[in-house]
Amino acid sequence: MSMSQKLKELLNTHGKPYKEVYFDLENSGFVPKEVVDAMIPYFNQKGYGHPSITHRVGWEALEIIYETKELVAKTIGLSEPENIVFTHSGTEANNLAILGYLLKNKENKGKKIVLSSIEHLSVIFPAQFASDLLGFKTVLVPVDREGFIDPEILKFYIDKDTILVSIQMVNHEIGTIQKLKELIDVVKSINPKAIFHTDAADAYGWISIDVEKLGIDMMTISSHKIHGPRGVGALYIRKGLELEPPLKGQLSVEKLWPGVENVPLIAGFKKAVEIMFSDFSYRVDYVKNLRDKLMYGILNKVPNVLVNGPLNEMRVANNVNLSFLYVEGEALTVELSLNGIYVSSGSACSSRVLEPSHVLLAIGRKHEEAHGSILFKLSHYHSKEDVEYTLNVVPNAVERLRRISSWR
């Protein structure tokens, strides 16, 4: 039986639940109708031409690219849209930032790369690649039990040989909001020439960002993290900073990432940004209230649950990450799925490998605690009824799995 046949059989066996609540926004998510409607004209009505070609449909494509750049720039405190580069994902943007800068400056600029121990794998892997093939040295800064980097500890990792520092603004798994300005000031005070990159994919749309006030040199954002289409990412690059394109090929509008820009998806990204930043404070507060209702509701109803990440205002508004003791996280995702609740377990980017999350291990979780973790990510498309339904399902699902668990 082929894989597609097996999947069809699995779907037919279980059927569709009468209610569905999608919390797996770390991995991907639905694209709302407004965003889809914004994309459709660019497939076959306008702007379907090559954006660097001088004819009307090419100009239309170029127009939406620059309109989107102007909008994104405005949301991060910039007036110059030229500082925004589009890629085809947040992963590509992180690779462009890390490898692009190191390739351009591999001689006489220092050889040390400094990362936090809880970075996204799309930052860790290219840094390791540069260490293996280009002669750089990658070091990981430890975090505390809530995922924070102590500025005093960071000082010991920065020196005159440090060429690049990359620390997330918000952690993608446990929602920790780093005190980024303090960390940037530490780096620049010791080595003003060191470049500071931040992966802000999980911060963008959830916390206020001003790249110039913060002193950020490069910053990554991702479309699908704000209910935009998959296949679009962006990198802010400080004016005057030079990168070498890691990929080679025919260039279009972007000079650092080859290939023709996906104009329909960029149009969708623009609409998603407009939605996320309209009534910004109200939306964030709304989601934060849902998050607290979900998180504290589970803690009140289910014993032996650990919270991964901070419990105060330094936790991003949409993140709930809990470790359910005496339960295998993969089993719980299946159990919840049968009831129409869709979540992720452990590290979203390596869940099929069945390895414990490197983020959870870095904050001191034991392997069995990391394996029992469940990540819920909320958005303004969730309702109070969604959370109440989840609070009715989760305790029963956990209790059933604990009864048959061999971990106790």
What CATH number did the domain enclosing 367 receive? 3.90.1150.10
Residues in the chain: 408
Q: Are residues 11 and 88 in the same domain?
A: no
10 and 101 fall within a common domain: no
Q: Is the pLDDT of residue 234 over 50?
A: yes
Residue 405 scores a pLDDT above 80: no
pLDDT at 46: 92
Under 8 Å CB-to-CB from 253, ≥6 apart: which residues?
51, 52, 62, 65, 86, 261
Same domain, residue pair 246 and 297: no
* Mean pLDDT across 34-38: 98
Write b or e for each residue in 27-49: b if 16 or more Cβ atoms lie within 10 A of its Cβ, otherwise e: eebebbeebeebbeebeeebbeb
Spatial contact of 297 and 387, defined as CB atoms under 8 Å apart: yes
- Number of domains forming the structure of the chain: 2
Would you say residue 121 has pLDDT above 50? Answer: yes
Kindly state the average pLDDT of the residues 338-363.
79
- For residues 65 and 207, membership in a common domain is answered with yes
| pLDDT value of residue 355 | 80
**184 & 297 share domain:** no
Between 351 and 106, whose confidence is greater?
106
CB proximity list for 277: less than 8 A, separation 6 or greater: 75, 205
221-239 average pLDDT score: 97
Q: 90 and 220: one domain?
A: yes
For residues 117 and 241, membership in a common domain is answered with yes
pLDDT value at residue 254: 86
Q: Report pLDDT for 251.
A: 79
Please give the average per-residue pLDDT across 15-43, as a whole number.
Answer: 92
Domain boundary among 277, 306, 341: 277
Q: Is a pLDDT exceeding 60 seen at residue 349?
A: no
Last residue of a domain, one of 277, 299, 330: 277
Amino acid found at 199: D
Q: What is the pLDDT of residue 109?
A: 78
Six-digit token string for 236: 């802010």
Averaged over 29-35, what is the pLDDT?
A: 95
Cβ proximity of 306 and 146 under 8 Å = no
Task: Say which of 349, 360, 374, 401 is annotated catalytic.
Answer: 349
**Domain check: are 212 and 85 in the same one?**
yes
Indicate if 267 and 284 belong to the same structural domain. Answer: no
Q: Rounded to two decimals, what is the model's pTM?
A: 0.93
Q: Among 29-38, 54-63, 336-345, where is mean pLDDT lowest?
A: 54-63
Q: List the one residue out of 87, 121, 315 whose CA is nearest residue 223.
A: 87
Regarding whether 247 and 147 lie in a shared domain, the answer is yes
Q: Taking a C-beta distance cutoff of 8 angstroms, is the pair 73, 81 a contact? A: yes
Query: Looking at 212, 243, 277, which one is the last position of a domain?
Result: 277
Task: Please give the Cα distance from 36 to 169 (Å, whole number).
Answer: 29
303 touches 60 (CB < 8 A)? no
Output the CA–CA distances (angstroms, integers) from residue 203 to 173, 296, 401, in the order listed: 12, 23, 34
**Residue 288 has what pLDDT?**
98
- What is the arithmetic mean of pLDDT over 277-297? 97
8 has a pLDDT exceeding 90: no
> Would you say residue 340 has pLDDT above 80?
yes
DSSP code, position 408? -
Q: Which domain holds residue 73?
A: 33-277
Active site residue 349: yes
Q: Contact 268/223 with Cβ under 8 angstroms?
A: yes
pLDDT score of 70 more than 90: yes
- State yes or no: pLDDT of 350 exceeds 80: no
**Residue % of the chain over a pLDDT of 70:** 94
Among the residue ranges 47-61, 184-198, 214-228, the one predicted with the least confidence is 47-61
Q: Are residues 208 and 255 in the same domain?
A: yes
Same domain, 310 and 378: yes
What mean pLDDT is predicted for residues 49-65?
Answer: 87
**110 vs 205, higher pLDDT:** 205
The rounded Cα 306 to chain-centroid distance in angstroms is: 23
